[in-house]
Amino acid sequence: MTKINQLGKTPKRLKIGPGRRLHNWLNTYIEFTDDNEAPTLFHMWCGLGAVSAAVGRQVWMDMKFFEVYSNLFMVLVAPPGTARKTTALKMARRLVSKVPGIHLCPQEVSPQAILKRMSEMHTDGEEHQSMAAYSLEFGTLLGKGPRQDAMIDFLTDVFDCNPDFDKETIGRGKELAPKPWFSLNGATQPSWIKDHMSPSALETGFVSRILWIYADERKLSNPLPETDERFLTMQKDLINDLSHISTLQGKAALDAGAREFYIAWYMDDSRFPKSIDTRMGNYYERKHIHLLKVAMLLSLTMDDSLIITTVHLEVALSLLGDMEPGMHKSFTGVGKNTYSTDVERLYAQITERGGKGVHYAEIVAANFHALTKDELDRVLGHLMAMQRIQLYPGNYYGLRTAPKRPATI
């Protein structure tokens, strides 16, 4: 899936530092969750989210005019009942809840309540006001209507962890969080994004701050998993090292090789897609920030040096690259085109057949519940205009790249 196995292979990384029990926290977490039916992609990002929640605002990168902090905004996206997205979140949250000092945000809460809690943390003498949200239903956290607008504004503002976050309230006066930090770990369905987030909301900076991790395939694993000694040992080791990571503090930095690699990547204009889906909310304009955050977290999974190497950057790029095709799928149904969801559904039906193609009558039978014949013809016309499919002799529709007439089904 990624270059994740590169981590921990260099000699200087083989020694386990004081306070740790694991060579690599993330690799062990992936092994820990291996026989769970949620996809590895989900567990990998939930693991990074757990490390992020543990370290909070205590580790950052100095970018001269601003700082990059370790917080991730990450939402697992999957059709209902397929990829066990809430299970993946619960497993990570269970470990995080065992780490002393982490403040978990309620699943249903207003922006005002979050800032009030941060202000109380400041009043109680806490050095920084770090909170981690685990929203098993992202829609519950985000809300609807004016509340959604308020939460989107709040999350957009707090993502950068800018100092002296404040708000004047009528009843309580000014509420202040001098050193705010907030991470988001959520789960939702593509249909929720389509039905409850407007195109205008998706085209703001809010969406580009979120990593939308998409999966739509079942992972049938151990039908009768049992808790054994090895599982319990890994669980204890993961909690131990996560607790240790929560004590780390300081400025993270790129080593010489990583600086050279990052500069070359950043200055390469080809990293921007030629055709950008505006529903992605300018994600590619903000990708360098996500890259630094993920690389910082990968370093924290391995040792206490706060040094980011070329390998960390390469693995982070691989993780983001694996995620990006799914981000587009998350927003398939969003937009002004009424038939956008139908376009993708029909294309998937035809793609599943590969070179065989699908007869028009079969397409009609498979979609009569959703489209009239005229609407179906319109959708097929869209796909042909996009040069994704073509009509073959015998009234078969197949992929445009098919080298010859589809075989009879």
Domains belonging to the chain, first-starting first, are 4-330 (3.40.50), 340-399 (1.10.10)
Tell me the HSE value of 115 on the side-chain side, using a 13 A CA sphere: 24
Average pLDDT over residues 119-124: 92
Instruction: Read off the DSSP letter of residue 266.
Output: H
From 76-90, 258-272, 323-337, the region with the lowest mean pLDDT: 323-337
Q: Is the pLDDT of residue 401 over 50?
A: yes
From 28-32, 93-97, 373-377, the region with the lowest mean pLDDT: 373-377
User: What is the pLDDT confidence band of residue 291, given thresholds at 50, 70 and 90?
Assistant: very high
265-286 as b/e, with b when 16 or more CB fall inside 10 Å?
A: eeeeeeeeeeeeeebbbebbee
Q: What is the reported pTM?
A: 0.80
Average pLDDT over residues 90-95: 97
Average pLDDT over residues 75-80: 91
pLDDT over 90 for what percent of the chain?
53
Q: Is the pLDDT of residue 318 over 70?
A: yes
d(CA 177, CA 170): 17
- Contact (Cβ atoms closer than 8 angstroms) between residue 94 and residue 29: no
- Between 271 and 292, whose confidence is greater? 292
From 74-88, 151-165, 210-224, the region with the lowest mean pLDDT: 210-224
Q: Is the pLDDT of residue 160 over 50?
A: yes
Q: Give the model confidence (pLDDT) of 4-16 as tens digits.
A: 666 654 444 457 7
Q: Give the model confidence (pLDDT) of 181-227 as tens digits.
A: 999 999 999 888 877 776 556 666 888 899 999 998 777 777 777 88
pLDDT value for 402: 46
pLDDT value for 223: 78
Nearest C-alpha neighbor of 93 from the set 153, 146, 42, 133: 133
Q: Is the pLDDT of residue 336 over 60?
A: no
